[in-house]
Amino acid sequence: MEIEYLVIFLPLFGSIISGFFGKLIGSRNSEIITSLFVSISAILSFFIFYKVLNENYTNNLSIFTWINSGALNASWSIYIDSLSSVMLVVVTLVSSLVHIYSIGYMSHDPHKQRFMSYLSLFTFSMLILVTSDNFLQLFFGWEGVGLCSYFLIGFWFKKESANAAAIKAFVVNRVGDFGFALGIFLIFYLFETVNYSEVFDLIPYSSDKNLFFLGFELNAINLICILLFIGAMGKSAQIFLHTWLPDAMEGPTPVSALIHAATMVTAGIFLVVRCSPIYEYSPFTLNLITLVGMATALFAASVALVQNDIKKIVAYSTCSQLGYMFFAAGVGAYNVAMFHLFTHAFFKALLFLGSGSVIHSFKDEQDISYMGGVWKKLPYTWILMIIGTLALTGFPFLSGFYSKDAIIEFAYLRGNSFGYFAAGIGIFTALLTSIYSWRLLFKTFHGSFNNQKIKIEGIHESSMVMIIPLIILAIGAIFSGFLFKDLFIGTDSSSEFWKSSILFLEPLSQDHPPLWFLLLTPFLVILAIPISYYLFVKNKKIVSYIINGNLPIYNFLKNKWYFDELYEFLFVNPSKKLGLYFWKKIDLRFIDRFGPDGVSSLIKSISLLAVKFQNGFIYRYAFVMLLGFSALLTFLIIK
At 200-238, the pLDDT tens digits run: 999 988 878 888 887 788 889 999 999 999 999 999 989
pLDDT tens-place string over residues 569-604:
888 899 888 888 888 778 777 777 776 777 777 777
**Mean pLDDT on 136-148:** 92
What per-residue confidence (pLDDT) applies to 492? Answer: 64
Q: Is the model's pLDDT at 431 over the cut of 80?
A: yes
Q: Per-residue pLDDT for 441 more than 90?
A: yes
pLDDT at residue 247, rounded to an integer: 87
Range 405-417 burial, b when 16+ CB lie within 10 A, else e: bbbbbbbbbbeee
pLDDT at residue 639, as a whole number: 62
Q: What mean pLDDT is predicted for residues 19-34?
A: 91
CB 370 within 8 A of CB 450: yes
User: Phi, psi (5° rounding) for residue 450?
Assistant: -115, 10
Q: How many CB atoms lie within 10 A of CB 39?
A: 18
Predicted pLDDT at 257: 86
Instruction: Supply the pLDDT for residue 362.
Output: 86
Q: What is the pLDDT of residues 241-264, one digit of tens each?
A: 988 888 888 888 888 888 887 778
Helix (H) or strand (E) run with residue 589 in it: none
pLDDT digit string (tens) for 340-357?
Answer: 999 999 999 999 999 999
Buried b / exposed e over 7-34, threshold 16 CB at 10 Å, is bbbbbbebbebbbeebeeeebeebbbbb
How far is residue 58's CA from residue 41's CA, in Å, rounded to a whole number?
A: 18
- Range in 384-398, 399-413, 465-479, 505-519 the model is least confident about: 505-519
Instruction: Measure the CA–CA gap between 344 and 300, rounded to whole angstroms.
Output: 16
- pLDDT value of position 489: 87
Separation between Cα atoms, residue 383 and residue 381, nearest integer Å: 6
Q: What percent of the chain has pLDDT over 90?
A: 50
- Give me the sign of the Cα torsion angle 218, 221, 224, 230: negative
Residue 546 has pLDDT above 90, yes or no: no
**H/E run at residue 491:** none
| 560: region left, alpha or beta (phi > 0 left; psi from -120 to 50 alpha) | left
Average pLDDT of span 97-113? 89
Tens digits of per-residue pLDDT, 51-88?
Answer: 998 888 899 998 888 888 888 888 899 999 999 999 99
Q: What is the mean pLDDT of residues 293-318?
A: 92
Grade residue 295 by pLDDT with cuts at 50, 70 and 90.
Answer: very high
CA distances to 115, 127, 246 from 140, in Å: 22, 11, 25
**Residue 268 near residue 233 (C-beta atoms within 8 A):** yes
Supply the mean pLDDT for the chain.
88
d(CA 404, CA 523): 14
Return the HEC string of 10-22. Answer: HHHHHHHHHHHHH
Cα→Cα distances 358→163, 363, 379, 384, Å: 24, 9, 11, 11
Residues in a beta bridge with 367: 309
With helix as H, strand as E and coil as C, how does 513-543 read?
CCHHHHHHHHHHHHHHHHHHHHHHHHCCHHH
Residue 255 exposed, middle or buried by CB count within 10 Å (0-12, 13-18, 19+): buried
| Model confidence band, residue 14 (pLDDT cutoffs 50, 70, 90) | very high
Indicate the pTM of the whole model.
Answer: 0.90
CA-closest candidate to residue 309, choices 190, 456, 444, 487 = 444
Beta bridge pairs of residue 69: 72
More confident residue, 180 or 449: 180
Say if residues 362 and 459 touch (Cβ distance below 8 Å). yes
Which residues are paired to 73 by β-bridges?
68
Across 496-511, average pLDDT: 79
pLDDT value of residue 142: 93
Q: Cα(460)–Cα(376) distance, rounded to whole angstroms? A: 10
Q: How remote is the C-alpha of 613 from its chain's centroid?
A: 68
DSSP per position, 352-412: HHHHHHHHHHTTT--BGGG--S-TTTSHHHHHHHHHHHHHHHT-TTSHHHHHHHHHHHHHH
Taking residues 269-276, report their average pLDDT.
94
Q: Is the pLDDT of residue 620 over 80?
A: no
DSSP class of 251: S
Q: Is the pLDDT of residue 493 over 70?
A: no
Task: Tell me the H-state helices in 71-111.
Answer: 82-105
Q: Which amino acid is at 399?
A: S
Question: Kind and range of the H or E element at 446?
Answer: none
Q: Where are the alpha helices (DSSP H) in 446-550?
A: 464-489, 492-498, 515-533, 541-548
Checking if the pLDDT of 510 tops 80, the result is no
- Other C-beta atoms lying within 10 Å of the C-beta of residue 620: 13
What DSSP designation does 219 have?
A: E
State how far the Cα of 158 lies from the Cα of 149, in Å rounded to an integer.
17
